Amino acid sequence: MPGREHRCAALGLMATLGIGFLVLAASQTQAQKRQKAPPVAKEAPHTQMQEVTREQQPGAKEAVQADVSARNVAVTSSFNGIEIVIFGAVDNSQQSSAESGYYDVMIVVEGVPGRIVVRRKNNVAGLWLNTSSATFDVVPSYYAIASTRPIDEITTEEFRASHGVGFQHLRFTPAFGQTQALSTEDLKEFREAIVRLKEKQGLYIQDNFRVAFIGKSLFRATIELPANVTVGPFETRVYLFREEKLLSQYTVRLNLEREGLERHLHRFAFGYPTLYGLMTVAIALAAGLIASTVFRRAAH
């Protein structure tokens, strides 16, 4: 058998793959650099913050302003969740110190709403299998509430219902054209299951004492976006309350985007699935042939 030619062919394949990996690796490190550098540069609210401390006038109407530590988060191959710092300040703060508890702040971070299927297992002849399901639309992929005190002490029930704040007020709507007709109680159970499972996955978070004032007008909170979070735009809403009354509200957006190798592979897999499949097969064939050549030579 012409072993020499096979070895040459395998070496050629190895070289091609090697170069391919180097190119991919290079694009990835670039993406990581991009991820690390810009968030600091992009935060420009320092000027605003200085104004806040300058304009303290008693009796004037309070307003809240806020920003997040990273407005653009790159999801690269090394992405393993991220902690976001949300900070803000109360304009014309009337409170005497950080500890006075004069104001209450509530922060809601919401991911892209999407369609979700909930399934329920049943025991059929001794075996557990999914027998019923419900599909909901407008289910936020991520939902976190952080506040200075429990939200039912800060806000009224009407407020929470009208603003869709709190797990029980999320506006999941049963998708049109459900295959199974479901009773109201079933729907309620399915809805609760979504919240419970999302909480377990760290995608729905409620923390009643996460927001802390660190001065008479400055406050901050940290919120975790776990590794399994869905990429896309996130809306961060900051509410300022005084005795259950909404004084001011502020909205910041943050964006999670695939970058580098991660972005290329994902786009390739979902945008050109056939080509992607063929590439995977080519990699598999090359890997197998290279391995057999390398190990056969090592054995001799």
Interface residues with another protein (CB under 8 A)?
1, 75-81, 114-123, 126-130, 133, 135, 175, 190, 193-194, 196-198, 227-228, 262, 265-266, 269-270, 273-274, 276-281, 283-285, 287-289, 291-292, 295
Question: Which residue bears the tokens 């957006």?
Answer: 253
> Are residues 257 and 74 in contact, defined by beta-carbon separation less than 8 angstroms?
yes
The DSSP element (H or E) to which 222 belongs, if any, is strand 218-225
Q: Which is nearer to another protein, 171 or 196 (CB)?
A: 196
Q: Which is nearer to another protein, 33 or 296 (CB)?
A: 296
Beta carbon of residue 226, minimum distance to another protein (angstroms, whole number): 9
Pair type for strands 218-225 and 113-124: unpaired
Beta carbon of residue 81, minimum distance to another protein (angstroms, whole number): 7
Q: What amino acid occupies position 154?
A: I
Q: Which is nearer to another protein, 72 or 133 (CB)?
A: 133
Residue 203's CB: how many other CB atoms inside 10 A? 20
Q: Which is nearer to another protein, 15 or 284 (CB)?
A: 284
Beta carbon of residue 188, minimum distance to another protein (angstroms, whole number): 12
Beta carbon of residue 278, minimum distance to another protein (angstroms, whole number): 6
Rounded Cα distance between 156 and 164, Å, is 12
Beta carbon of residue 284, minimum distance to another protein (angstroms, whole number): 4
The vertex-151 CA angle with 58 and 136, nearest 5°, equals 130
**DSSP letter assigned to residue 62:** P
**DSSP letter assigned to residue 231:** P
Q: Which is nearer to another protein, 12 or 288 (CB)?
A: 288
